[in-house]
Amino acid sequence: MIEIRDVEKSFENKVVLRGVDLDVYDGEKLVIIGRSGCGKSVLLKLIMNLLHPDKGYILVNDIAIKKVGQVDLFNLRKQFGFLFQNAALFDSMTVAENICLPLVEHTKLSKSQMMDKVAEKLELVGLPGIENLKPAELSGGMRKRVGLARAIVMDPNYILYDEPTTGLDPIMAANIDKLIIELSDKLNITSIVVTHDMQSVSKVADRVVMLHNGRMIFSGNVSELKSTDNEVVRQFVNGEAEGPIQPKPHKY
């Protein structure tokens, strides 16, 4: 279980999160929605302890991640898979080396066992046989799926997906949604999915939260989301230009 308590985060003078409270229960598929730049990626990085909150704290299985030493932090992180928004593949390595890296560093598997795992995960994300390509040779959507293969190769208990279907064609997106659901249901993995894609929200989510102006303004299941009378949430869900959210005027 992940408990986020009153977390605030700013960069220089820019306030991103102004007091976020959120519980993520074991085994659930939680979807976080919100406008671009509202701090969804920042929230995921805070959970991974890649960024540190200015105020508030985060507990993972009752452990305060801010306080643990490096060894415990790394043991905790081994339970997490994190798909970066931009995939963040190591561009000096091949696809296979990217996916293998955590296995090489943390397990004693033989070379052939590792390659079997790589092949298995690449199959899962719909990219069999691309082991020897370099990230520079892949399209954006392929990179993202290799990033996903790398995130799940250690069979984590928690997977954080940062916009897993952005940049994929609708069919591939549907496949990734299916994969997220399968991983979660078969292995009882806890998933946190950040997305703008309302299709995958309806398919994947056990529960949806919406982040707006640095706070959680909505929490509920998909049908509650669709029938909400919160104007802001409704405008976002229906993708309307008219409503309480207006694009900020440009500064010239």
Partner 1 sequence: MTSFVSALGRRTINFVSETGSVFILFYKSIRYLKQLWASRSLVFSQMLEIGVNSIPLVLFVGVFAGAVASVQTAYQLKGYISYNYLGAATSVAIFIELGPVLTALVIAGRVGASIAAEIGTMKVTEQIDALESLAIDPIRYLAMPRIFSGFIMIPLLTVFADFIGIMGAYAVAWINLDLPPETFFGSVKEFFSILNVMSGLIKAFFFGGVTAIIGCYVGFATDGGAEGVGKSTIRAFVLSSAMILLNDYILSVLLF
* Residues that contact ligand ADP, how many (by CB under 6 A): 10
Nearer to partner 1, 105 or 185 (CB): 105
Our finding on whether 112 is near partner 1 (CB under 8 A) is: no
Our finding on whether 198 is near partner 1 (CB under 8 A) is: no
Among 6, 25, 37, 123, binds ligand ADP (CB under 6 A): 37
Among 105, 116, 182, 240, binds partner 1 (CB under 8 A): 105
Answer yes or no: are the C-beta atoms of 70 and 77 closer than 8 Å: no
Our finding on whether 42 is near ligand ADP (CB under 6 A) is: yes
Nearer to Mg ion, 163 or 177 (CB): 163
Our finding on whether 101 is near partner 1 (CB under 8 A) is: yes
Whole-angstrom Cα Rg for the chain:
19
Measured CA to CA, the distance from residue 136 to residue 166 in angstroms comes to 18
Binds 82: which of Mg ion, partner 1, ligand ADP, none (CB < 5-8 Å by kind): partner 1
**What does the buried/exposed string (b/e) look like for 58-78 if buried means 16 or more CB atoms within 10 Å of the residue's CB?**
bebeeeebeeeeeeebeebbe
Among 4, 7, 33, 40, binds ligand ADP (CB under 6 A): 40
Closest CA to 162 of 147, 150, 175: 147
Our finding on whether 180 is near ligand ADP (CB under 6 A) is: no
Nearer to Mg ion, 84 or 158 (CB): 84
Measured CA to CA, the distance from residue 8 to residue 6 in angstroms comes to 6
Nearer to ligand ADP, 34 or 135 (CB): 34
Tokens of 144: 């993202």
Nearer to ligand ADP, 10 or 199 (CB): 10
Stretch that binds ligand ADP, among 37-45, 73-81, 125-133, 222-230 (CB under 6 A): 37-45
Report H helices in 48-191: 70-77, 95-106, 111-124, 140-152, 170-187
Measured CA to CA, the distance from residue 120 to residue 115 in angstroms comes to 8
